[in-house]
Amino acid sequence: MSNPNITELTSVVLEVERHVADSGWDQPSQVYALAETADLLAREPALAPHIGDSPPGSLTPVEQEPLPVGRLDEVLAGIGWPPEVLGCVLVTELVVLPPSAEEEAPYSDHEIEYWAANHPERQDVRLAVGVTRSGLHASCLRVRGDDELVVDPDLADNLVDGLLATFQ
């Protein structure tokens, strides 16, 4: 089993985000297991026509069952991976508000979701975050209505921590 590098992980995170983007917005959160392509093809040779040629050490994302409904931190706490999974990618949509909005935010979780969803300064974003067992992480963000992707490994430290915890 090789150790993927950050460039390979970033490429896979971007690939998964583009795949999810093809289905448009208002998608539920989705998670993908990352397998070393050579190991995956050795276990599942029928996948070869779908994967094609790939360099040694490359990663292949494998879409998982839909995540259960609930708070994302609690959902992630219930995930565990078998040893052959080298990493994972989570794609989720979030509402982002400017820092000035914090002062007017309600306190209860139920109220804050409704309030944020209807705030006039809200921005909808799609965030894709990938991690490996070895601790590498990468992420990208797309704002609804903008085709540009922001690629930055430090966009979502809490999600990185939550995803890394799925390997413990």
The whole-model pTM stands at 0.86
List of residues 6+ apart from 57 with CB closer than 8 A: 2, 3, 4, 5, 8, 36, 38
Residue 1's pLDDT is 45
- Domain parsing of the chain, residue ranges: 8-166
Residue 5's pLDDT is 67
Residue 4's pLDDT is 63
Residue 6's pLDDT is 67
- List per-block mean pLDDT (blocks of 10 residues) for the chain, which spans 168 residues: 72 96 94 91 81 78 92 93 96 84 72 73 91 96 92 92 96
DSSP letter, residue 149: E
Residue 163's pLDDT is 97
Q: Where are the alpha helices (DSSP H) in 4-81?
A: 6-21, 37-43, 48-51, 72-77
Residue 48's pLDDT is 77
**Contact predicate 135/164, CB 8 Å:** yes
What's the token pair of residue 131?
Answer: 């991690």
Type of residue at 119: H
